[in-house]
Structure 1
């Protein structure tokens, strides 16, 4: 858990338990994280960004009882922010654009939202046996070749390809709701 996540989650827990000062600090800190989140996505709409910050903080406040204390706080909060942004863009009836000269501003540094994505990915991959998970991480996330990853984990190249294919097919089936073929179980550890 990152320091930022731990700090915000602690404030949220204390706020839910009735600590009004912790709640004020949480909303203030979240406002500081939400402003750049919205400004990066609105391309110059500072007024709109501030409106979205306020809407999101109000939604966090009113929906606080729906947050599961066992889950990361920032993932939940930024999901609310994403929905507020999508609603705003739909109301505007346009897609944001930016001049190509400003492309460097579109590439964000690491954000709290990235942590939520990593958490979801880690949770999905945790359902695989350790060797298969490591193989997927090396090939799909770290960019190693299949041959390099096979050598690293004690697979032949063909066995690594089969394991990757079956593992990915299993994950797609599990999360897309499709049934698995009997011969493609991801539980086979090669």
Structure 2
């Protein structure tokens, strides 16, 4: 079971305040999240995924003092992961498959929204509870389509359609289309 954003943030803040148990729990929870994040985006072997997980964990540890306690923790952690992945692509001269480009762009849209301190809850408020839940799971918490489908006891197609329609509705609202 994946830890929630709130739990991860509590553990991070606890770790920053010197609670070693909280920090250990945070690091333990991050490993499977980062493995999933990189595995979905890389075509290379498991060694590259594990190397990126380790590089990201080290970067999170060494840069932990830069975390702003008022911001969403996963956006901060995934930003570090994304930069580590970009560095990996540059080193190996790999190309990003076009099939995963939408996921990367949408994730960056949420990261930009966080940087601009937009209220994600308010943005999602106009959507159905199902769309809100699925978009949070796949675009904020980092679950794959299959994981979100399993978690919600629905089909993967239903997850994809719900995310697509929800994102379209949010884009329309942002453009002033109600």
Q: TM-score range by the shorter chain?
A: 0.5 to 0.7
Distance 1:45 1:92 in 2: 13
Q: Mind listing any 5+ residue stretches in structure 1 that lack a counterpart?
A: 150-163, 169-190
1:82 paired residue number: 82
Mapping 1:38-187, distance limit 5 Å: 38-97=38-97, 114=107, 117=110, 120=113, 141-142=168-169
Calculate the aligned-residue CA RMSD, in Å.
4.1
Residue 25 of structure 1: how far off its partner (Å): 1.1
Aligned length: 130
Q: Using the alignment, how far apart are the partners of 1:20 and 1:93 within structure 2?
A: 38
> What is the rounded CA distance, in whole Å, between the counterparts of 1:143 and 1:6 in structure 2?
23
Q: Displacement of 1:12 after TM fit?
A: 0.2
Query: Which residue pairs with 1:21 in the alignment?
Result: 21
Query: Structure 1 residue runs of 4+, over 6 Å off?
Result: none
Q: What is the deviation of 1:43?
A: 1.6
Following TM superposition, by how much is the alpha carbon of 1:22 offset from its aligned partner in structure 2, in angstroms?
1.1
Determine the C-alpha separation between the residues in 2 that align with 1:83 and 1:32: 18
Kept after mapping to 2: 8 A contact 1:74/1:116: no
Structure 2 portions without partners, runs of 5+:
127-164
Q: Which has the higher contact order (CA 8 A, sep 6+)?
A: 2
Q: Map Cα deviations across residues 83-141 of structure 1 (whole Å, 9 max, x no partner).
A: 0000000000121459xxxx7xx5999xxx85981881795777xxx9xxx8xxx9x83
1:16 Cα deviation from its structure 2 partner: 0.5
Larger radius of gyration: 1
Change (3 A) 1:6 1:121: closer
Contact 1:56–1:84 (8 Å) recurs in 2: yes
Name the CA distance, whole Å, in 2 between partners of 1:59 and 1:22. 18
TM-superposed deviation, 1:142: 1.4
Structure 1 distance, partners of 2:39, 2:20, is 29
